[in-house]
Amino acid sequence: MSEINLIATAVFGLEALVAKELAFLGYNDQKVENGRVYFKGDERAICRANMWLRKAERVLIQVGQFEARTFEELFEKTKALPWEEWLPRDANFPVEGKSVKSTLFSVSDCQAIVKKAIVERMKEKYPVQWFEETGPRYTIEVGFLKDVATLTIDTSGAGLHKRGYRKLVGNAPLKETLASALITLSRWRPERVLLDPFCGSGTIPIEAALQGLNIAPGIQRSFVAEEWDNIPKELWKETREEAHDLIKKGEKLDIEGFDKDGEVLKLARFHARKAGVEEYIHFQERDVAELSSKKKYGYILCNPPYGERLEERKEVDRLYKEMGKVFKKLDTWSYYVLTSHPDFQKLFGERANKNRKLYNGRIQCYYYQYYGPRPPRVIKNENV
C-alpha cells in the first residue's frame, strides 16, 4: 500500500497542535476537523505518528467514509470496503461505535450490522464460515456524524496519552497529552526555567523534560499495530532506532516541580525516574505561598485545584488570591494557568493577556496566559 488514509484523533481544542506535529513529521496533506486531523501516509507513517505525536489521542486507519440513513445502506456500503487488505483470517476485530445527530442513532444495532457486513466480506476472501478471532486485535469503529459514517481501525491500542511512565496515579491527574499542549502553547524553550507550583504526580515537569530532550512520547510503550503482519517489523524497529538517535542527550534543563503534598511528590519522583528524566527535574515540598526564585526570567505553568465541589470553592478562592500576590513578585516571569473557575481573573487580580478554551477530561477550562518581558538578547562579540 503506497498511500493510506489516516486520522489522528485529538481532544477538542488541540487539533491545530496535532496538525503542526504531523507537518513537522512531514505529513502535510491534511484536513482538520473537530476532534480529528485527516492525513495521508504509508505504513511507516503509522509507526512514526504513534511514536512522535504528543497531543493526539490515537492514530486510526480510515477504511471508508459514506452517507448512510438506513441499515441496508450501512450493510452494503460497509461490505463493499476492502477489509481483507487489513484483516487477516484470524483477526480479532471487535466493533465499537458512536452516533451524533444521525438517523441511525442505535449504536448497538450499527455495531452488529457492521460486524456482519465485514464477516460477509471476509467470507469472500477466506473459504470459512466461522472466524475464530484468535489472532491480533484490530479494533474497528463505526462513527456517525450527521448521517456520515466513518469506519476506522485503531493502530494505537491504549490511548497515546499513556506514555508508559505513569504507573501510579494521584488524584485528578492531568493527561499527558494536555500537559504537552500547555507547554507548547506557552512557547517555553529549554534554555528557560520552567516551574510548576502544583506539580502533583509530576505530569507537566515530566512532559517538559521529554519535550526539551526530544524524547519521543511513545518510546517506552508498545502499540497494537506492532502485532500486525500488515506493517513490517523492520519499520517499527527503524522508528524506535530513529527515536533513540534523536534524543538530545547533552541538553541542560532547569525544570522545577513544587507541591505541598509530600506523598504525591513521591509519585512524581517515581514517574520521572520511569520516564528517564529524573536528573533533569528538581522536585520540592513547598506551598505556593513560599514560591520564590533567584532566576530573573522564567515560566510558571500550572493546573491548580478548580474548586468544582461546592465545599472546596472558598478554599480555592483564597488560593487564587494568594497566587495573584505571589506570582506578581516574579514580575519578569510569564505565567500560565489552566482552570475551570469562572472568576479566576477577578480573584487573581489581573486580566490575562490571552486565554484559550481547552477541555480537561469533560471539564471546560480556560488557559490563562500572562506574558512577562522578554529577556535581553545576548549579542556575541565575534572579534573576541
pLDDT in tens, 237-291: 999 999 999 999 888 999 999 999 999 999 999 999 999 999 999 999 999 999 9
Please report which confidence band the pLDDT of residue 375 belongs to, taking 50, 70 and 90 as the band edges: confident
Residue 36 predicted with pLDDT over 60: yes
* From 97-101, 125-129, 188-192, 368-372, the region with the lowest mean pLDDT: 125-129
Q: Is 239 helix (H, G, I), strand (E, B) or coil?
A: helix
Among 17, 1, 360, which Cα is nearest to 153's?
Answer: 1
Question: Do both 13 and 58 map to the same domain?
Answer: yes
Range of the domain at 120: 4-154
Residues 185 and 140 in one domain: no
SS3 of the chain: helix, strand, coil, percent, to 5: 35, 25, 40
Alpha-carbon distance of 284 to 113, in angstroms, equals 55
Residues 58 and 186 in one domain: no
Rounded to an integer, the average pLDDT of 143-164 is 96
What's the average model confidence in pLDDT over 149-156?
98
- Per-residue three-class SS string for 161-209: CCCCCCCCCCCCCCCHHHHHHHHHHHCCCCCCEEEECCCCCCHHHHHHH
Per-residue pLDDT, 374: 87
Same domain, 352 and 252: yes
Q: How many domains does the chain have?
A: 2
Does 183 lie in the same domain as 141?
A: no
Cα distance between residue 337 and residue 354, in whole Å:
11
Out of 15-29, 124-138, 156-170, the most confident range is 15-29
Average pLDDT over residues 351-373: 95
* 345 and 205 within one domain: yes
Residues 16 and 128 in one domain: yes
200 shares a domain with 334: yes
**Residue 169 confidence (pLDDT):** 63
Mean pLDDT score of the chain: 94
Question: Bridge partners of 141?
Answer: 96, 152
Any domain includes 65: yes
Half-sphere exposure in the Cβ direction for 235 (13 Å, CA): 19
Average pLDDT over residues 327-334: 95
Statement to judge: residues 32 and 87 lie in one domain = yes
The pLDDT of residue 384 is above 50: no
Region 92-97: mean pLDDT is 97
* Those residues with Cβ within 8 angstroms of residue 245's Cβ, 6 or more apart along the chain or in another chain: none
pLDDT at 381 over 70: no
102 and 182 housed in the same domain: no
304-308, 323-327, 348-352: the lowest-pLDDT one: 304-308
| pLDDT at residue 378 greater than cutoff 80 | no
CA 320 → CA 57, 230, 306, 370, distances in Å? 31, 53, 10, 15
Read off the DSSP letter of residue 116. H
pLDDT at 380 over 90: no
Written as nine digits, the cell of 75 is 450493510
Please give the Cα distance from 186 to 300 (Å, whole number): 9
The model's confidence at residue 127, banded by pLDDT at 50, 70 and 90, is: confident
Largest CA distance in the chain: 81
CATH number of residue 249's parent domain: 3.40.50.150
Q: State whether 227 and 288 are in the same domain.
A: yes
Query: Do both 150 and 224 map to the same domain?
Result: no
pTM, entire model: 0.93
Q: Is the pLDDT of residue 383 over 60?
A: no
Percent of the chain whose predicted confidence (pLDDT) is above 90: 89
Residue 379 has pLDDT above 70, yes or no: no
Grade residue 95 by pLDDT with cuts at 50, 70 and 90.
very high
